[in-house]
Amino acid sequence: MYKIRLTPSIIPNMFTAMNMFSGFLSIIFAADGNYFVASWLIIIAAVFDALDGAMARLTKSCSEIGVELDSLSDAISFGTAPAFLIYSAYFHKNPYFADNLSFAIIISSLLMISGGFRLARFNVQLTGFDKAYFKGLPIPSSGIAIAAFILAYYDKITLFGSLNIFVIPLILVLSYLMVSNIKYDTAPKLTLKGIKEKPFFAVILFLSLVMLFFSKSVYVSLFFFFIFMILFGIIRYVFSYFQKIFAANK
């Protein structure tokens, strides 16, 4: 009689599967025009994405198949789902693109395509299962930024809204940053050692959570939190670049 063998890896893999399923549901709700739920499902997918790594470390069941499954899930939840969400919420209903939907499709797909390249590069360059930093913007950050943008400003990017001009630049910037060489710190582990290793990041994360709690518009605060983290990586990269130039000229 065949016996089903349960291993500790099933726990993190279940969270990874829920990440993938949340991204799939987001696409379904976006197709039905429920952009609020579709956006929230991307954020929920990010929660599952964070938990699968934590569970893998807790159960000591990190594996290559877990890494590959996680990347496939991320490609759906933070690449395909946000790309389809921004296409459905902005481009598809915008009269400016009624006669040029092919352009809209190409622009929207950049989030998915760049995210795919970002994940492929990550898997190829991965040594071990823990990293101090990411090369290029992590795809979950891009996906959450799009979801938070829709939650905060959907009423202002439809038709003749005041934020129309920011949609395409936002897509282009996020897409470029994912395939760039700009370094972004990994989130500190929720342990005393993890907090000590990255005190600045931990303080910023704590203050951001406090601001989100007391904010009048949680969605706006969430969007600007991710914009701040994205800009911080760019500023640090530029500062490091000029620092190396000045050091070389001494």
Domain ranges of the chain: 10-186, 188-216
What are 176-188's pLDDT values in tens digits?
999 998 888 776 5
18 is written with which tokens? 């829920």
Please tell me the predicted confidence (pLDDT) of residue 196. Answer: 57
Residue-level pLDDT at 7: 67
Dump pLDDT digits (tens) for 193-212.
555 555 655 666 666 666 66
Q: Please, what CATH class does the domain formed by 10-186 belong to?
A: mainly alpha
Q: Is the pLDDT of residue 238 over 70?
A: yes
Collapsing DSSP states into helix, strand and coil, what is residue 184?
A: strand
Average pLDDT across the chain, whole number:
81
Of 18-32, 135-149, 223-237, the least confident: 223-237
* Dist CA 86 CA 97 (whole Å): 13
**pLDDT digit string (tens) for 153-171?**
876 655 445 667 888 999 9
Most confident of 4-8, 58-62, 147-151, 164-168: 147-151
